[in-house]
Amino acid sequence: MADQTSDSTSPPALVSASSPKKEITSPPVDSKLTELSESRAELLNRIQNLKQDLQSWRGKLDTQVQVYREELSGLKKTLNLEVEQLREEFKDLKTTLNQQQDDVSASLKSLGLQDNSKDSKEQMDKKSEVTEEEVEARMNDENAKEAEHY
């Protein structure tokens, strides 16, 4: 920057050295050149300040983006863990329900009402399979959407 500022003052020196008559006869030109040199120096200073501000802004923005990415990554991991826990809970619930259904079927069998319990058990098995498939399909869709965002 200092070199550019000193360069801006060099042209008036060259003009005055090469043509001493103009310096004597045209003081308004020298004052205009001085004003222009000062104006140029001010503009260069403002440009430099703007560049520094821009660089600072970019650094802050990059930092903020990194913080948000880390937060999103943490949230994604937490969500995946919770989904996995829900899957396990659903499996446990299904196992429990099947066990209860088997117990009810055994009780009904001992009372002589076995035929109706088989139909209801088949229906419950089909419903639980459909529910599991729906949950897995939804999770796959959500994971695909998340992958699109990254």
29-57 tens-digit pLDDT = 889 999 999 999 999 999 999 999 999 99
Q: What is the SS3 string spanning the chain? A: CHHHHHHHHHHHHHHHHHCHHHHHHCHHHHHHHHHHHHHHHHHHHHHHHHHHHHHHHHHHHHHHHHHHHHHHHHHHHHHHHHHHHHHHHHHHHHHHHHHHHHHHHHHHHHHCCHHHHHHHHHHHHHHHHHHHHHHHHHHHHHHHHHHHHC
pLDDT of 1 above 50: no
Q: What local confidence, expressed as pLDDT, does residue 100 receive?
A: 95
The mean pLDDT value for 49-74 works out to 97
89-122 tens-digit pLDDT = 999 999 999 999 999 999 988 888 755 545 565 6
